Amino acid sequence: MKTQLELAREGIITQAMSQVAAKEGFSPEVIRDLVASGEIVIATHPNRPNQKVVGIGTGLRTKVNASIGTSSDICNIDLECAKARAAEEEGADTLMELSAGGDLDAIRRAVLANTNLPVGNVPLYQAFKETTSQYANPGKLDPEYLFDLIEKQLADGISFMAIHCGINQYTIERLRKQGYRYGGLVSKGGTFMVAWMDINGKENPLYEQFDRVCNLMKKYDAVLSLGNGIRAGAIHDSHDRAQMAEMIINCELAELGREMGCQMMVEGPGHVPLDEIAGNIMLEKRMSGNAPYYVLGPIPLDTGAGYDHIAAAIGAANSARHGADLVCYITPAEHLALPNEHDVREGVRATRLAVRIGDIAKYPERRENEKTAAKARRDTRWADLENVLMFPEVAKIIRSSRTPANEDTCTMCGDFCAMKKGMEVFGDDIKGDKVTCPHAP
């Protein structure tokens, strides 16, 4: 079986490429060429015929990922399936199943059966969880078991994997020489791999046998997302030497993986102050040959717990604006507790808003819906306005709960409606769809 990347390099337009082209408003030839260059990846899976096909990368709408999963404290398969369905209902593009408690095979398969979204995961979670259950010591992880587990998860239907290939002895040395960190290590999979390397005095097998990882991914045409196990968990650690060492290695591996015919993404960057986001994305794009960038937030401060979904949305809007391709949502429970279904819905909504804000700055030609909404609001055509809103049902609930005396207005202004008065003064001057202001898009 050839990958989307290999087929594109042969000049072949696949059904998946045609589907992405139709969704995104490009010709199939443009999508094929960007897949061939590695600037777009397509999340598909041969064992999931009903899975939605999602393109991620240059020129495409910035996508939203929702992460779910159990923990050692809260483990309920029905809840995870409900969260998966909620994420899809709210408009997430991809889903990550990140369970670390319970029967992980059963949970993964149940989630895959309850969504049509492409599903990703982090294989190190299950590897270390089951090794700990068996030996009471995660340091006893057998690399052969890890590679077998990766293939089992891929065969189940996983479409993309965050695999921590960029952690190696050089990266760990940077942590030690810089005196560790203010915010410590925050990646579960990455931290346990660092500990495994320290205990065993060995190199990371995922780095050492990178070609083996790529060959497994190619077998199922899955996207290899190079995990950021050394990402900063505090803004004061942002872009420290350890983070940059891993980013450089991941960007090199992205190039090597593409040469092997594997679809590749790079992950980053964690907690990053607002003024560093543009530089972070520029570095990833430049060093990786414009590989799709999958970002967590980023979260631009450390004191927003309880409202981290809003903080992350601010970071996400800036990330999308400057070229991020896939944004992992943050929920209100981030840093505090395992998200519930309500948190999932709020996280997806906030992140969808954020990437929309970023996209209309990045692609000015995509502002037509905003103009349509503005004109409907100007003309107080409430039904037409609701038709172009991102969250029309929420808008209907709010408006109907506070019904105005005059239905042409809303209860914000009532009799003093600026829109209504403005139309009385200037309504006759409207010239179709033309506006003479030179700054109008």
Calpha distance 309→346 (Å, rounded): 8
**Which of these, 366, 385, 364, lies nearest to 374 by C-alpha position?**
385
Q: Output the average pLDDT for the chain.
A: 96
Q: Output phi, psi for 100, to 5 deg.
A: -135, 10
Q: Output phi, psi for 34, to 5 deg.
A: -75, -30
CA angle 190, 196, 197 (to 5 degrees): 90
Q: At what angle do helices 341-362 and 308-322 cross, to 10 degrees?
A: 30
Identify the band that residue 408 occupies on the pLDDT scale cut at 50, 70 and 90.
Answer: confident
Domain ranges for the chain, please list them: 46-362, 367-429
CATH of 46-362, one of 1.10.3720.10, 3.40.50.2300, 2.40.50.100, 3.20.20.540: 3.20.20.540
3 state SS of 293: strand
Contact call for residues 224 and 261 (beta carbons, < 8 A): no
Q: Which residues are paired to 121 by β-bridges?
A: 161
Write out the H or E segment, with its range, that includes residue 127. helix 123-135
Contact call for residues 294 and 266 (beta carbons, < 8 A): yes
Q: Residue 293: which residues within 8 A CB-CB, separation 6 or more?
A: 265, 266, 267, 268, 281, 284, 285, 323, 324, 325, 326
Around Cβ 432, how many Cβ atoms within 10 Å?
Answer: 5
Contact call for residues 36 and 8 (beta carbons, < 8 A): yes
Identify the band that residue 435 occupies on the pLDDT scale cut at 50, 70 and 90.
Answer: low
Does the pLDDT at position 155 exceed 70? yes
Each residue's pLDDT tens digit, 211-240: 999 999 999 999 999 999 999 999 999 999
Q: How many CA atoms, within 13 angstroms, populate the side-chain half-sphere of residue 217? A: 32
Each residue's pLDDT tens digit, 2-21: 999 999 999 999 999 999 99
Q: Which residues are paired to 328 by β-bridges?
A: 65, 296
Write out the H or E segment, with its range, that includes residue 161. strand 160-163
